[in-house]
Structure 1
Amino acid sequence: MDESSLQSRLRFALRPQHGRPRHWPIFIAAAVAAAAGNVHAQAGADEQDVNFTGPLVSSAPPLPKGLLNIEPYLINTQVTGRYDADGNRRDSAGVSDDWQIAVPIQYGATDRLTLAVTLNASYAPTQGGRRLTIGDTRVSASWLLAEGSGPHKTKLTGSVRQNLTTGQHDRLEVRRVPGPTGSGANSTTLALDGQAYFLPRSNLRGRAGLAFRIPGAHAGLRGESAYATPASFEGSAELGHGMVANLGAEYSINARWVLASDVVYEYEDSTRIRGRGTAGVVDQTLPSSWRVSVAPAAEYHWSGSAGVIFGALVSLDGRNSAAIVSPQVAVNLVF
């Protein structure tokens, strides 16, 4: 997960559906994709003292003009349980793990404007083995709102992110896919992100972000879907608002190694399902959900333009959401 997110959707898909989670790991792909473009940072007098790739989740400021950043992620998601309506954690048995691929691509159109696209795919088990399935796509634009000239080198960025429904979200009973890989809703997310440096060598970098999905996006539904509808159903889902808040930090030990971590809060408002099934008219509301996770990671840099980050997103608490452990690795390349 972003650019997927938060970043496919900055999808706030948290609720278990049909005995397994709605394919919320695409949210992780989007969310970590939001961290793409984390080019190396210069600190102090020596440019080689500090390099940063970026935490797994926190978003980066716009790239310098003409710079291209590609940061493919490989993500394994293991569902270890679920948080019920009262927030109690209950273990889950027999739930398969999923693999996701997220490829965020960013380009600095100007020194203040960065344009990006994030491609997502899932490689998950089916009855005949595993199958690679395309997920939702996200396009985004980020604008540098303000930049400080002091030692903290503060930056404030505003972003608009649009989810495109290239994944599978309904008619799952007839599709050769292991589960939903998209939301079916062309939703729009607005985000505000900040960054600053600390300590004498500027070898501690902090980031904070808040992303808000505009409510009212609709998804047309036929048959079994990401919204727990049965095979006989035909109708639609209206999404409420969603939110992701994150706080990240990176500490550079030397020019090669960095320790990083994020704390992430996800919230999904209630979703209204309306349509018809074999039992007649359907008008129901899926309850709201939330989850708090932590994402410790380590970075290794071959140079100022190439590095790798590896870690895991681990849920700590939640309600009406999946309990997960999600190891992931990404290679950051700047051209």
Structure 2
Amino acid sequence: MQPRHGQQRPAPILPILFALMALATTAAQAQTPEDAGQVRFTGPLVSSAPPLPKGLLNIEPYLINTQTVAHYDTDGHRRDIDRAADDWQIAVPIQYGATDRLTLGITLNAAYAQGLRSERHLATGDTRLSASWLLAHGTGRHQPKLTISARQNVSTGQHDRLELQRVPGPTGSGTDSTTLALDSQAYFLARSNLRGRAGIAWRLPGADAGLHGQSSYGTHAGFKGNAELGDGMVANVGAEYSINSHWVLASDVVYEYEDTTRVRGQDELGAVDVTLPSSWRLSVAPAAEYHWSDNAGVIFGALVSLDGRNSAAIVSPQVAVNLVF
């Protein structure tokens, strides 16, 4: 679909989100002295958590609605699209504290997307395996933590032969790629009710996706070949402010970068050798958290793109329930 100049259509989720966050702020007026002494966090929408204590199990299912409202072109100009895409995703991260320093995890993904006849179908997405190691844990009021992680993407979603699928869009990358990450966390203020996180993740270059037919890499029916990915990077800074034992305000700032991808193969017209350009996107993810207890809470917010190049401009409202066993 070709982009065009125009005004961005309003996203009705944003006024609702800001109203809910204002409600969370107002709830602070009702806190009791007991509430003021309790600090609970679920975690921002994007920033990664340090390893769990030994024996703890954490499950945090997400429901995500991604609305592609525009596109950033090769010059970084934002251009509206004729028909905004509206896709639903279910993500279920599951983590287990194998030791006090090592946490093992798996994230299951599925898409609930519109088919060719406007009906919706459920399709599997890629699966991610992870292992996180606590490198350092400081003492004192700030309790800083530094974590290193390895994440392996397993290609269980659909990325090619899209002309034959009930859900015509991609739900996976087609690559078994490896990502290394470094994440940090610390507490601030007198009650330690401000928690900050920062992290950077680097996807190793050279991941390869076999392609047949129409694919997420711009190929069409009749194509046979492969796509070799360059490296990728995600950097984020997040913060959470605990108002009382129930309500928390949170936000992330996220920068995503994708290096060039080379697509090579054959189609009905002959040899194909194309290099897809690099891309980047800057987003913010405001959110609010509500906690029923030390072991259960909910976070709701939205990831909203602010700027980018060769990437989609998105508004992605989402909600997750955090459960610790």
Give the TM-score of the pair, scaled to structure 1. Answer: 0.86
- What does residue 197 of structure 2 align with? 207
Q: For residue 188 of structure 1, what is the aligned residue in structure 2?
A: 178
Residues 244-291 of structure 1, C-alpha deviation per residue, up to 9 Å, x if partnerless? 000000000000000000000000000000101111111110000000
Q: Which residue of 2 aligns with 1:31?
A: none
In structure 2, distance between residues paired with 1:265 and 1:105 = 25
Who is 2:283 aligned against? 293
What are the equivalent positions in structure 2 for 1:52-131 lying under 5 Å apart?
Answer: 52-128=41-117, 129-131=119-121
The match for 1:163 among 142, 147, 153 is: 153
Q: CA RMSD in A?
A: 1.4
1:48 positional shift: 5.7
- Residue 330 of structure 1 corresponds to 320
Task: Give 1:94 deviation, angstroms.
Answer: 1.3
Partner deviation per Cα, 1:155-189 (whole Å, 9 max, x = no partner): 00000000000000100111222311011110000
Give the Cα–Cα distance (whole angstroms) in 2 for the partners of residues 85 and 306 of structure 1. Answer: 44
Gap regions ≥5 residues in structure 1: 1-17, 21-44
Higher alpha-carbon Rg: 2
Query: Quick one: which amino acid aligns to residue 248 of structure 1?
Result: G
| Counterparts of 1:127 and 1:225, CA distance in 2 | 16
5+ long unaligned stretches in structure 2: 4-33
Give how far 1:117 is off.
0.2
**By how many angstroms is 1:96 displaced?**
2.9
**Greater Cα shift, 92-101 or 152-161:** 92-101
Q: Distance in 2 between matches of 1:54 and 1:181?
A: 26
The one-letter code matched in structure 1 to 2:109 is N
C-alpha distance 19-70 of structure 1, shift in aligned 2 (>3 A): farther
Q: Is the 8 A contact 1:131 1:178 kept in 2?
A: no
* Cα deviation digits, residues 120-157 of structure 1 (max 9, x gap): 00001112300000000000000000000121000000
Q: Could you say which residue in structure 2 is the equivalent of 1:308?
A: 298
| 2:133 aligned to which of 136, 143, 146 | 143
Q: Secondary structure at the match of 1:149?
A: coil
Deviation (angstroms), 1:49 = 1.0
Q: Are 1:100 and 1:123, in contact at CA under 8 Å, matched by a contact in 2?
A: yes
Q: How much has 1:93 moved relative to structure 2?
A: 2.0
The answer to whether 1:261 aligns with 2:251 is yes
Q: d(CA) in 2 for partners of 1:186 and 1:47? A: 47
**Counterpart in the other structure of 2:219:** 229
The two structures have a TM-score, normalised by structure 2, of 0.89
Contact 1:136 1:166 in 2 (8 A): yes
How many Å separate the matches in 2 of 1:176 and 1:81?
25
Distance in 1 separating the partners of 2:116 and 2:37: 51
The one-letter amino acid of 1:127's match is: L
Quick check: 1:172 aligned with 2:162?
yes
Q: Given the alignment of the two structures, is residue 132 of structure 1 paired with residue 85 of structure 2, yes or no?
A: no
**Equivalent position amino acid for 2:139 in 1:** S
Deviations 1:223-256 (A, max 9, x none): 0001010111100000000000000000000000
Aligned structure 1 segments of 4 or more residues deviating by more than 2 angstroms: 45-48
Of 265, 273, 277, which residue of structure 2 is paired with 1:275?
Answer: 265
Q: Which amino acid aligns with 1:55?
A: P
Q: Decide whether aligned partners of structure 1 residues 318 and 197 sit closer, same or farther in structure 2, where only a CA change above 3 A counts.
A: same
Identity rate, percent: 75
Aligned length: 294
Letter in 2 for 1:51: R
Q: Secondary structure at 1:146's aligned position in 2? A: strand
Q: Is the 8 A contact 2:256 2:280 kept in 1?
A: yes
Counterpart of 1:154 in structure 2: which amino acid?
P
Conserved 8 A contact 2:36-2:244:
no
